[in-house]
A and B are shown apart, each in its own frame.
Chain A
Amino acid sequence: MLELDDIQHFLMTRPHALAARYEFLSFRTPQSARIWLNGILDKVGTTRSVRAADEHDMRWVTVAFTWQGLLATGVEDSSLATFPDEFREGMAARAEILGDIGRNGPKHWIGELASNELHAILILFARDVEQRDRSVRDYEEFLAQCDGAERLSFLNLEAIPPYEYSHDHFGYRDRLSQCVVAGTDEVANPGSGPPLKAGEFFLGYPDEDGDGPRLPHPEILSRNGSYLAYRRLQEHVGTFRAFLEQHGKTREEQELIAAKLMGRWRSGAPLVLAPERDDPELGADPLRNNNFNYKTMDPHGYAVPLGSHIRRMNPRDTAVNMNRRRMIRRGGTYGPHLPEGAPEDGVERGIAAFIGCASLVRQFEFAQNVWVNDPKFHELDHERDPIIGTHDGTYQMTIPKRPVRRRLTGLPSFTTVRGGAYFFLPGIRALRFLASGARA
Chain B
Amino acid sequence: MSQASQSHDWTKPAAIAIPKEGFFTPERGRYGPVFPQTPANYGFSIIARVKPGREQAIREYGKTIEEAVKADPAVLAPLKLHYLRWLLFDIGSGLHFMYQGIFDTDFDKYVEDALVLFAQTGITTVFVNLEGWPEDWQANAPAVIQFFRDHQCPSFLEYGEYPYVSADEIKKALRVKDLFSQMLDQMQ
* A residues adjacent to B (C-beta < 8 A): 84-86, 94, 96-97, 209-214, 320-321, 324, 361-362, 365-366, 369-370, 376, 379, 381-382
Contacts and interface: CB of A to CB of B under 8 A. Distances in A.
Contacts of A362: 112, 141
7 contacts: A86-B30, A209-B116, A210-B139, A214-B139, A362-B112, A366-B30, A366-B112
Interface string B1-12: 001011100000
A27 B136 CA distance: 37
Nearest to B79: A320
A324 B116 contact: yes
Nearest to B145: A361
A365 B30 contact: yes
B75 to A, nearest CB: 11
Given A361-B30, A369-B29, A379-B166, A84 B139 contact: no
The list of the 3 closest CB pairs from A to B, nearest first, reads A320-B78, A96-B28, A321-B116
B168 A379 contact: yes
Contacts of B112: 321, 324, 362, 366
B106 interface: yes
A84 B142 CA distance: 9
A210 B30 contact: no
Interface in B149-186: 166, 168-169
Given A361-B31, A370-B109, A379-B168, A210 B119 contact: yes
Interface of B: 3, 5-7, 27-31, 77-78, 106, 109, 112-113, 115-116, 119, 136, 138-142, 166, 168-169
Given A324-B116, A381-B6, A213 B27 contact: no
A96 B6 contact: no
Contacts of A214: 136, 139-140
A366 B141 CA distance: 14
Nearest to B168: A379
A214 B106 CA distance: 26
B30 A96 contact: no
Given A320-B113, A321-B116, A366-B30, A210 B142 contact: no
B117 to A, nearest CB: 9
A94 B109 CA distance: 17
Nearest to A215: B139
Nearest to B106: A370
Contacts of B77: 320
Contacts of B30: 86, 97, 361, 365-366, 369
Contacts of B31: 361
B29 A97 contact: yes
A96 B33 CA distance: 11
Given A211-B139, A379-B166, A96 B27 contact: yes
Nearest to A86: B30
Contacts of B169: 379
Nearest to B80: A320
A379 B169 CA distance: 8
Contacts of B141: 213, 362
A377 B110 CA distance: 15
A199 to B, nearest CB: 11
A210 B119 CA distance: 8
